[in-house]
Amino acid sequence: MSITLTHTPAVAKADEILSPAALAFVQKLHEKFASTRETLLEARVAARAEVVKTGTLDFDPATAEIRNGDWKVAPAPAALQDRRVEITGPATPAKMAINALNSGAKVWLADLEDASTPTWHNVIDALVNLTDAAAGTLSFEDAGNGKSYALRTDAPLATVVVRPRGWHLPEANVLINGEQAVGALVDFGLHFFHNARVLSEKGQGPFYYLPKMESHLESRLWNDVFSFAEAELGIEHGTVRATMLIETITAAFQMDEMLYELRDYASGLNAGRWDYLFSIIKYFREAGDAFIMPDRADVAMTAPMMRAYTELLVATCHKRGAFAMGGMAAVIPNRREPEVTAAAFEKVRADKTREANDGFDGSWVAHPDLVPVCVEVFDSVLGEKPNQIDRQRPEVNVTAAQLLDVASAPGSVTEAGLNTNLYVAVAYTAVWLSGTGAVAIHNLMEDAATAEISRSQIWQQIHNKVVAADTGNTITAELVAKALEVQVAKLRAEVNDEKAFKAYYAPAADLIGRLVSGRDEDFEDFLTLPAYRLLSTELVSK
């Protein structure tokens, strides 16, 4: 087996990250685990086919012994005992990484996935920044505005938890036997190779967030990857800690099993609410009226199906000695608009108050200005305690029907919501193609997960001939095509840059137009797969 690169990106220290020894380690990971990953991706197709046939999901009787067993995950290290506020964001550019580390949050989710476009430049720059952060040397000089960015010394830095790409994503710039590498193994392998020892010696990791998993067998694969990587580099078994995102509907039925598979490494589960909604739509998109999701803005965490999901997550985590981590409130402040900022603070405060009172041990924010809000809320519930794992929830008894009760979600489908979905899906995809994986749109933080909801809802509405509550019009492919033209024209006027529009917005609009067609053959499992294929050599090497 051979490993080759398409090129080395123009990033300082790229040669160090892509050293022969580091690449040899990545190659070993692929030799050992890539075929299992392929098998598991094929199993996803079979699982979805079963849902189409039966129209439902349930807890697996074959794993009842695990759900009913008396076991716990390994205790969390000191650096992860207090996670009351976690800030999320990309690890590139360096000033973004420094701002996250300096934010006052307990944890920084350094994102190589939903909030980061995986251009080769971005991937390697992120790994350079994470390696410098682990060494305590990360800094940045912004020649454009004359500002210097450095790690603070007057207060603790956020503990770094790295989110590699999901199992489904490839890395086109690393070829193994001529085939594209597995993005997750490239991200993890390069980060672990360069940082495992220095982080473990500091008691700071390495720690990871694991996204997009759909079964406990995918957790088992990560368990095997961690165990192999530790042994290969001489790191003590059980040094790694991982938090899994429960952001697929199938994973919601396997929380116990996923923790069990990773019990030597697991430190918690996270309620990845936006991808979770997308997953429900994806799995049940042809299942009829009972699974028609209302407008995205209407589906609050207080909806019965979302309450069932979060209550089950907290109860499962605390029973197993793991942390329950709350999800992202998409609203963000705008320092130029005090009224918008005040409204964002109140919405985030309400969201975090619900989570803290339900038993979550901490939660996510997307902006440094929201860190104090989240801290204040969790301080009021936790007091001097670092977490509330001791708060057991034996009264929680969630059924399959409750997890799948989409019909009880308040709200309706509207043409106004359709137009918002089209605008967001095109605008976000365009920004993603330009190299930025998270962007504020109408004072909401949009990333790949929220774009996924937007485009999948439209597909579902067309396919099921949904009638819009605000206009009485049936949502058809023709209606959506006309609406898309209007939203694209609006974006063209707002962007007011013909070169950028042609390079990013036009291909984004074409892609979204296809993905929302309502035709079976046009429903892609993940928006980022065809979007990644759209990244030309020039874009990938930016």
Tell me whether residue 526 is exposed, middle or buried, using C-beta atoms within 10 angstroms of its C-beta: 0 to 12, 13 to 18, 19 or more.
middle
d(CA 509, CA 427): 8
Tally of residues, the chain: 542
> Quick one: which H or E segment has residue 483?
helix 477-495
Residues 259 and 322: beta-carbon distance below 8 Å: yes
Residues 162 and 207: beta-carbon distance below 8 Å: yes
Residues 185 and 29: beta-carbon distance below 8 Å: yes
d(CA 26, CA 18): 10
Residues with Cβ < 8 Å from 216, sequence gap 6 or more?
Answer: 63, 254, 257, 258, 260, 261
In the three-class reduction of DSSP (H, G, I as helix; E, B as strand; rest coil), residue 181 is classed as strand
Q: Helices 273-283 and 304-319 sit at what angle, rounded to 10 degrees?
A: 120
Name residue 240's amino acid: V
Q: 142: which strand partners? A: 147
d(CA 3, CA 180): 10
> Quick one: which H or E segment has residue 465?
none
What pairing do the DSSP bridges indicate for beta strands 170-176 and 3-5?
A: antiparallel
Q: Is 447 a catalytic residue?
A: yes
Tell me whether residue 350 is exposed, middle or buried, using C-beta atoms within 10 angstroms of its C-beta: 0 to 12, 13 to 18, 19 or more.
middle
Tell me whether residue 286 is exposed, middle or buried, using C-beta atoms within 10 angstroms of its C-beta: 0 to 12, 13 to 18, 19 or more.
middle
Query: What percent of the chain is helix, strand and coil (3-state, nearest 5)?
Result: 55, 15, 35
Q: Given 132, 295, 361, 447, which residue is catalytic?
A: 447
What would the DSSP string read from start to end of 325-385?
A: EEEE--B---TT-HHHHHHHHHHHHHHHHHHHHHT-SEEEESSGGGHHHHHHHHHHHHTT-
Helix residue ranges, H only, 284-323: 304-319
Six token digits for residue 489: 């024209």
In the three-class reduction of DSSP (H, G, I as helix; E, B as strand; rest coil), residue 444 is classed as strand
Q: Given 163, 165, 320, 455, which residue is catalytic?
A: 163
In the three-class reduction of DSSP (H, G, I as helix; E, B as strand; rest coil), residue 245 is classed as strand
In the three-class reduction of DSSP (H, G, I as helix; E, B as strand; rest coil), residue 508 is classed as helix
Q: Is 273 a catalytic residue?
A: no
Task: Compute the chain's Rg from CA coordinates.
Answer: 22
Give me the residue label for tokens 């209550």: 311
d(CA 137, CA 150): 8
Catalytic positions, written as ranges: 163, 447
